Each structure stands twice: as structure tokens, then as C-alpha cells.
Amino acid sequence: MTIKTELIKSYIADVVCSQLMDFKIDESKIPDTKATEILGEIQEILKNGEDNDFLIVDEIVSTLLRHNLDTGSCHEF
């Protein structure tokens, strides 16, 4: 990621955080809900069992990417 992108992300995060000061948010519910949703999707992929291991890993990586989670260099080909 470039330095400009990092700076823009930081600026956006700061703006969003400053706007959320007036709202009551239960921070513990947001990640739990999202994490549970993602784990449910991964569980369904694993339950399918019809694909070979490569396709299963590919589907899991795709699921993580769809939720904007970094998978490092996995599957960059």
C-alpha cells in the first residue's frame, strides 16, 4: 500500500471517528456479528466437501477478500 493511500485511510478514519462521538455504539456487537457472519460462510464452504482442497481454500480466501480482510499474498497468481 502506498504512503498516500495510508494517509488517506488515516484521514478518513479520523473524520469518521470524530463524527461518531455523539452516538452510542456497542462496539462489542459489531465485530462479533461480522465475525460470526464470516465464520458461518466459511463453515458452509467446509461442509460442502465436494470440492478439492485447492478449491476450498480458494473459496475461503475469496470470502475473506469479499469482506475486505487481508489474506496476505495467499492466492496472488
Rounded (10°) angle between helices 53-66 and 29-48: 160
pTM over 0.75: no
Condensed to tens digits (0 to 9), the pLDDT of residues 44-74 reads: 999 987 778 889 988 999 999 899 888 887 6
Q: Which residues are CB-contacts of 74 (< 8 A; sequence separation ≥ 6)?
A: 57, 61
Condensed to tens digits (0 to 9), the pLDDT of residues 12-33 reads: 999 888 877 767 777 777 777 8
Q: Which of 10-14, 39-43, 52-56, 73-77 has the lowest mean pLDDT?
A: 73-77
| Residues 71 and 61: beta-carbon distance below 8 Å | yes
